[in-house]
Amino acid sequence: MRAARKGMTTLIIVSIVVMLMSSTGQADSGTLLPPCPSSHNCVSSMATDSHRIEPLAVKGDARACFDRLRTVLGKRKDTTIISADDVQIRVEFRTILGFVDDGLFILDLPNGRIEIRSAARVGYWDMGKNRRRMEEIRADYSG
């Protein structure tokens, strides 16, 4: 009976911790970004194949880093911020040909990084545009 109570107490404590972590907006790195399609017009820091791109590093205060990223994105002429909160920024990128790509940035506090994804809405191949754009953002964010 004592072992059963101890097990139940442990279960309750674990459940409370999980609820608190999810209510603080801390991301679960296993479910942050949607997977890239098989087409060659998407990059993601969570991909394990040719779509892979490194996440953005968080150095120092995570919230300040995320605010800096929001500022970088807000200054880009090709970028419209669709929504932003303490842990997520959704953007639309417009190419000079008028195509729209979707960008997603997620602050992953437990792992000290910002997960990134950029994908074309249409087409099969983007000629590397999503990767180049994300690397430009990385340079502006890091610089």
CATH number of the domain residue 65 falls in: 3.30.310.80
Helix axis angle, 129-142 to 62-75, nearest 10°: 120
For residue 21, tell me if it sits in a domain.
Answer: no
For residue 11, tell me if it sits in a domain.
Answer: no
For residue 91, tell me if it sits in a domain.
Answer: yes
* Stronger pLDDT, 140 or 124, i.e. the higher one: 140
| Main-chain phi, psi angles of 115, to 5 degrees | -75, 140
- pLDDT tens digit string along 70-129? 999 999 999 999 999 999 999 999 999 899 999 999 999 999 999 999 999 998 989 999
Q: Are 33 and 45 in contact (CB under 8 A)?
A: yes
Q: Residue 101 in 3-state DSSP?
A: strand
Task: In whole angstroms, give the CA distance from residue 14 to residue 65.
Answer: 30
For residue 9, tell me if it sits in a domain.
Answer: no
Q: What is the pTM of this model?
A: 0.78
Task: In whole angstroms, give the CA distance from residue 131 to residue 85.
Answer: 24
Range of weakest confidence among 4-13, 43-52, 65-74 = 4-13
Domain range for residue 94?
36-142
Confidence grade of residue 67 (pLDDT, cut at 50, 70, 90): very high
